[in-house]
């Protein structure tokens, strides 16, 4: 089984990214041949500053490794180190119906959030399809908001196979973790960089405290029972605390007599502790010069070999060269 996923280097990782997608991807690296990459071509749709893009790529590589990505088990690379993917993207675009892209929610959401409506942004799912198809991927672990893009990928693979020969491209399947499909942010909406409501994985202790103590709550008095439905504190606590501690917090909500401040302090401690081993690994990675570059160079070489073979097969099938 080949597993593939990508993350855009568009800012520091947050808890939504971790529990929505990364954790599942990290677990899957033990179950098959995993290919994970940093989608820097995709980030060009929102970042037009070379220094920022390069810094973000580097930060994401360090963070992904710190979270437990094991380069001995999986191939970890930078999307743009395999330029073959852009050629496949072009070929796919010639069988992509406009209507299919016009229906993509992510494009409409991004434009609504102020990202300029470029052709690249519109064609984003086609490049994502090329990412997935060029590595003959079977399973694509992603957050819920990316599911539609994997469905587009399946449609395009079917179209290519119908036009140019059955079996040309492997049809992938998304893998969504339903229980953490939407991690709430500090304001109760979906946690997202574009909503400015994130808790980053490697937040400084002081900043983390400020954010968690600032989570929006209702005005239920301390002595009254608190609502469990829609509580961001509880939803976040469930991710980072043990099941027993979570049950205690639920019971404390139902009983009343404890204020939100107390719950927030518990959430703060559990969050800090959950990411402690990753913080330590991150320090170790940063202390080893050249390590990240070596991992990415090695990953690029392995990824490129497969991408070249798929592209050669497709070029042959469509009549190029
Ligand atoms: P953002 O919304 O902060 O820009 P991205 O779109 O870069 O995050 O998402 C990267 C990955 O993390 C995707 O697979 C996405 O589905 C997942 N993800 C992001 N935010 C959340 C969230 N709040 N809950 C669950 N998954 C999320
Ligand atoms: N679009 C994904 C996101 O924003 C990133 C991505 C690019 C990706 N190519 C991919 C994810 C291929 C899975 C497979 O999160």
* CATH number of the domain to which 63 belongs: 3.40.50.620
Same domain? 105 vs 254: no
Of 36, 39, 128, 192, the one to substitute when testing ligand 1's pocket (max ligand atoms within 8 A of C-beta) is 192
Report yes or no on 83 lying in a domain. Answer: yes
Q: Are 213 and 144 contained in the same domain?
A: no
Cα–Cα distance measured from residue 37 to residue 78, given in angstroms and rounded to the nearest whole number: 5
What CATH code is carried by the domain that includes residue 252?
1.10.240.10
Residue nearest to atom 7 of ligand 1 (CA): 8
Tokens representing 314 are 């497709």
- With respect to residue 189, please indicate whether it lies within any of the assigned structural domains: no
121 with 213, same domain?
A: no
Q: d(Cα 226, Cα 4) in Å, to the nearest integer?
A: 41
Q: Which atom of ligand 1 is nearest to the CA of 181?
A: 25
Q: Is 109 inside a domain boundary?
A: yes
Q: Are 106 and 140 in contact (CB under 8 A)?
A: no
Looking at the fold, whether 56 and 141 belong to one and the same domain comes out as yes
* Per-residue pLDDT reduced to its tens digit, 70-110: 999 999 999 999 999 999 999 999 999 999 999 999 999 88
Q: What is the pTM assigned to this prediction?
A: 0.93
**Is the per-residue pLDDT at 299 higher than 80?**
yes
Task: Considering only the C-alpha atoms of the chain, give the largest distance between any 2 of them, rounded to a whole number of Å.
Answer: 75
- Among 108, 147, 190, 305, the active-site one is 190
Structure confidence at residue 78 (pLDDT):
98
Ligand 2 touching residue 42 (CB < 6 A): yes
Tell me the pLDDT tens digit for each residue of 157-204.
999 999 999 999 999 999 988 777 789 999 988 898 878 899 999 999
Tens of pLDDT along 255-291? Answer: 999 999 999 999 999 999 999 999 999 999 999 999 9
The reply to whether 108 and 228 lie within a common domain is no
pLDDT at 254: 93
Interval between CA 24 and ligand 1 midpoint (Å) = 13
Q: Print the domain residue range for 79.
A: 2-182+289-318
**Residues 59 and 89 both lie in one domain:** yes
Does ligand 1 lie within 6 Å of residue 7's CB atom?
yes
Alpha helix (H) residue ranges in the chain? 15-17, 23-28, 40-43, 50-66, 84-93, 98-102, 105-112, 119-134, 147-164, 205-213, 232-240, 243-255, 260-274, 276-286, 291-318
Pocket test for ligand 1, best of 9, 11, 143 (most atoms within 8 A of CB): 143
Question: Does residue 149 share a domain with residue 20?
Answer: yes
Ligand (nearest to CA of 109): 1
**Per-residue pLDDT, 180:** 72
Best CA proximity match to 13, nearest among 241, 275, 193: 193
Residue nearest to atom 1 of ligand 1 (CA): 192
Q: Could you confirm whether 265 is annotated as catalytic?
A: no
pLDDT of residue 2: 97
CA dist 250 to 185, 246, 254, 256, 264, Å? 19, 6, 6, 10, 13
Domain tally for the chain?
Answer: 2
**Axis-axis angle for helices 291-318, 119-134 (nearest 10):** 90
Residues 169 and 302 in one domain: yes
Average pLDDT taken over every residue of the chain: 95
DSSP state at residue 21: I
Q: Who contacts 105 (Cβ-Cβ below 8 Å, separation ≥6)?
A: 145, 148
Q: Is residue 194 part of a domain?
A: no
- Let me know if residue 195 belongs to a domain: no
Q: Do 96 and 167 belong to one domain? A: yes
Asked if residue 24 is part of any domain, the answer here is yes
pLDDT of residue 29 exceeding 90, the answer is: yes
Residues 75, 111 within the same domain? yes
Q: Alpha helices of 135-220 — where are they, by DSSP H?
A: 147-164, 205-213
In the numeric block, the tokens 């202790």 are attached to 205
Residues 42 and 164 reside in one and the same domain: yes
Query: What does the angle CA 207 – CA 209 – CA 213 come to, to the nearest 5 degrees?
Result: 125
Same domain, 236 and 165: no
């Amino acid at each position: 089984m080949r597993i593939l996923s990508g993350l855009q280097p568009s800012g520091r990782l947050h808890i939504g990214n971790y529990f929505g997608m990364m954790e599942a991807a990290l677990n899957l690296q033990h179950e098959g041949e995993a290919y994970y990459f940093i989608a820097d071509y995709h980030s060009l749709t929102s970042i037009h500053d070379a220094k920022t893009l390069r810094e973000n790529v580097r930060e994401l590589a360090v963070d992904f490794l710190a979270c437990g990505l094991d380069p001995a088990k999986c191939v970890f690379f930078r999307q743009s180190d395999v330029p073959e993917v852009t050629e496949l993207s072009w070929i796919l675009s010639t069988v992509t119906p406009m209507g299919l892209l016009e229906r993509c929610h992510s494009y409409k959401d991004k434009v609504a959030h102020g990202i300029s409506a470029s052709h690249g942004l519109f064609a984003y799912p086609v490049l994502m399809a090329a990412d997935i198809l060029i590595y003959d991927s079977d399973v694509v672990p992603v957050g819920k908001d990316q599911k539609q893009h994997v469905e587009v990928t399946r449609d395009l693979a079917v179209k290519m196979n119908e036009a140019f020969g059955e079996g040309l491209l492997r049809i992938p399947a998304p893998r969504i973790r339903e229980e953490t499909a939407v991690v709430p942010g500090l304001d109760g909406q979906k946690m997202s960089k574009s909503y400015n409501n994130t808790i980053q994985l490697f937040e400084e202790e002081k900043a983390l405290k400020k954010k968690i103590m600032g989570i929006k709550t209702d005005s239920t008095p301390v002595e009254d029972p608190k609502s469990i439905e829609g509580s961001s504190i509880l939803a976040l606590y469930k991710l980072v605390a043990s099941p027993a501690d979570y049950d205690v917090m639920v019971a404390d909500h139902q009983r009343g007599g404890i204020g939100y401040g107390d719950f927030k302090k518990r959430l703060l401690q559990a969050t800090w502790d959950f990411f402690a081993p990753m913080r330590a690994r991150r320090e170790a990675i940063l202390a080893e010069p050249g390590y990240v570059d070596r991992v990415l160079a090695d990953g690029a070489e392995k990824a490129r070999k497969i991408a070249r073979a798929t592209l050669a097969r497709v070029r042959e099938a469509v009549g190029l060269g």
